[in-house]
């Protein structure tokens, strides 16, 4: 009897352990059990040189959450939003992610920038957290990750679109001299540059192109000398080195030249201590968001953001990173509403893995589209990349325009 009781108890214990392991493996780790709201989390730079991006994401996502909750939530369930500062440092983002996940996060905006996200990606995939990145644009962000999607264009997509814009604008190859300025060793910059070059075609498709690279973001004397005769500058770099190059090039580059970048240019007209009006050339960028929109959802977002965020710290933080984050939150809402309409049960305390299973099905459905501040009839491809239009956005017109 004693032996029988012992083995029976041992069997029950082993069954309980196995059951617990299976439960955790299926995403039921208990982290969301006490949730009374859908929990959205993100890691991003709220301090440091990229803080303008993180602040925009934080402000815009919080604004969307407040609007949705004030209107009754999503089928009666509110959103909760939490952001943790990683200072654009990939050594900090894994701890931020773990803290958010263990606190009950069911929906993620990933990380604001690419490198910090890639440092957390293994855990994001393992934990099966549905992730919609507003601004982490690296090609590797959604690769081999069925639960990771982007609201922004990939770096390769931006590079290719920039090349298409050049070819459609300058149909006569002899009418333009193109200068390419990129940062060597930087994944974002090199990725955009390589894809721009690939789309332009062999030998740049017959265009006259001069390349220059840099590592030091403060001194551009040699690069200016190399590129000074160019009339169109493709600059797949962030706004800090971009404005430093423009300042160094004043008086040496023709006033009629064009400085053109991608999403890294966003915020260049709001950099403290930099008066962009002193740059005589046109400054423009590839974008899915127009902060000077006069109609539509982009205009609605701009007006609400500017009305809400009026402090000195928030001034100048309006950019496409924020607009994309705002759209991400509303896309979560739209997807959950569609899932419920299709018969799915999505309670406030749903496990992250179960939420992911439901929303992945919605996002990859041919019938699901979303319209927001960054695009109309937005869809997502099976590989997690976004399908929407991009356009040239003029940040500052040429002084003689």
For 274-310, what is each residue's pLDDT tens digit? 999 999 999 999 989 888 888 999 999 999 999 999 9
Q: pLDDT > 70: what percent of the chain?
A: 93
> What φ, ψ does residue 39 adopt, rounded to 5°?
-100, 120
Query: Coil, strand or helix: which one is 179?
Result: strand
Residue from 319, 314, 324, 331 nearest 368 by CA: 331
Q: Which two tokens stand for residue 378?
A: 């937005």
Q: Are 259 and 281 in contact (CB under 8 A)?
A: yes
Helices and strands: H and E segment counts in the chain: 11, 14
- In 301-341, DSSP assigns E strands to none
Q: Please answer whether residues 145 and 124 qualify as being in contact, where contact means their C-beta atoms are separated by less than 8 angstroms.
A: yes
Report which of 66, 148, 39, 73 is spatially closest to residue 333, judged by C-alpha positions: 73
Beta pairing class for 130-133 and 107-111 = parallel
> pLDDT (tens digit, 9 = 90+) per residue, 126-146?
999 999 999 999 899 999 999
Model pLDDT, residue 293: 85
| Integer CA distances (angstroms), 118 to 50, 91, 113, 114, 139, in order | 17, 11, 9, 6, 10
- Quote the CA–CA distance of 175 and 95 in Å, as a whole number: 52
What the block records as the tokens of 105 is 């996060």
For residues 227 and 233, is the Cβ–Cβ distance under 8 A?
yes
Long-range contacts of 377-381 (CB under 8 A, 24+ apart): 378/151, 378/327, 378/331, 380/149
Please report the pLDDT score of residue 20 as a whole number: 40
* Residue 253 DSSP class: S
Torsion of CA 359, 364, 369, 374, to 10 degrees: 80
Rg (CA), the chain: 24
What whole-number distance in Å separates Cα of residue 190 and Cα of residue 209?
Answer: 16
For the whole model, what pTM was predicted?
0.79
* Residue 238: DSSP 8-state: -
Q: Cα separation of 98 and 95, whole Å?
A: 5
Q: Does residue 401 carry a pLDDT above 80? A: no
| pLDDT tens, position by position, 16-75 | 434 443 443 344 689 999 999 999 999 999 999 899 999 999 999 999 999 999 999 999
- Please give the Cα distance from 296 to 375 (Å, whole number): 10
Q: In this structure, what token pair is assigned to residue 117?
A: 């996200």
pLDDT band at 114 (very low <50, low <70, confident <90, very high): very high
- pLDDT of res. 56: 96
- Residue-level pLDDT at 2: 37
How long a stretch of residues is the chain?
A: 401
């Amino acid at each position: 009897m004693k032996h029988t009781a012992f083995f029976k108890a041992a069997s029950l214990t082993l069954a309980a352990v196995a059951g617990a392991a299976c439960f955790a493996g299926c995403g039921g780790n208990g982290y969301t059990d006490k949730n009374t709201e859908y929990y959205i989390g993100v890691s991003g730079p709220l301090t440091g040189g990229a803080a303008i991006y993180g602040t925009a994401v934080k402000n815009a996502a919080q604004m969307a959450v407040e609007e949705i909750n004030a209107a009754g939530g999503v089928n009666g369930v509110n959103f909760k939003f939490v952001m943790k500062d990683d200072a654009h440092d990939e050594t900090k983002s894994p701890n931020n992610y773990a803290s958010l996940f263990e606190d009950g996060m069911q929906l993620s905006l990933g990380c604001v920038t690419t490198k910090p996200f890639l440092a957390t990606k293994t855990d994001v995939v393992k934990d099966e957290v549905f992730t919609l990145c507003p601004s982490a644009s690296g090609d590797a962000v959604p690769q081999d990750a069925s639960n990771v999607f982007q609201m922004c264009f990939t770096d390769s997509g931006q590079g290719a679109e920039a090349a298409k814009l050049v070819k459609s604008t300058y149909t006569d190859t002899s009418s333009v001299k193109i200068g390419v300025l990129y940062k060597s060793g930087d994944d974002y910059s090199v990725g955009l540059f390589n894809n721009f070059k690939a789309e332009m075609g062999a030998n740049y498709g017959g265009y006259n192109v001069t390349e220059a690279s840099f590592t030091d973001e403060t001194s551009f004397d040699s690069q200016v000398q190399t590129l000074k005769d160019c009339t169109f500058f493709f600059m797949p770099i962030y706004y800090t080195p971009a404005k430093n190059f423009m300042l160094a090039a004043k008086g040496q580059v023709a006033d009629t030249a064009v400085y053109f970048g991608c999403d890294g240019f966003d915020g260049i007209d709001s950099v403290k201590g930099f008066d962009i009006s002193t740059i005589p050339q046109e400054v423009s960028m590839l974008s899915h968001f127009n902060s000077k929109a006069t109609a539509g959802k982009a205009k609605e977002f701009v007006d609400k953001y500017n009305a809400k965020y009026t402090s000195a710290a928030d001034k100048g933080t309006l950019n496409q990173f924020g607009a994309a984050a705002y759209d991400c939150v509303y896309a979560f809402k739209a997807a959950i509403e569609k899932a419920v309409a299709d018969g799915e049960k999505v309670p406030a305390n749903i496990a992250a893995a179960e939420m992911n299973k439901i929303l992945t099905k919605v996002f990859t459905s041919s019938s699901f589209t979303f319209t927001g501040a960054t695009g109309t009839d937005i869809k997502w491809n099976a590989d997690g990349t976004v399908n929407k239009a991009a356009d040239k956005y003029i940040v500052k017109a040429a002084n003689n325009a």
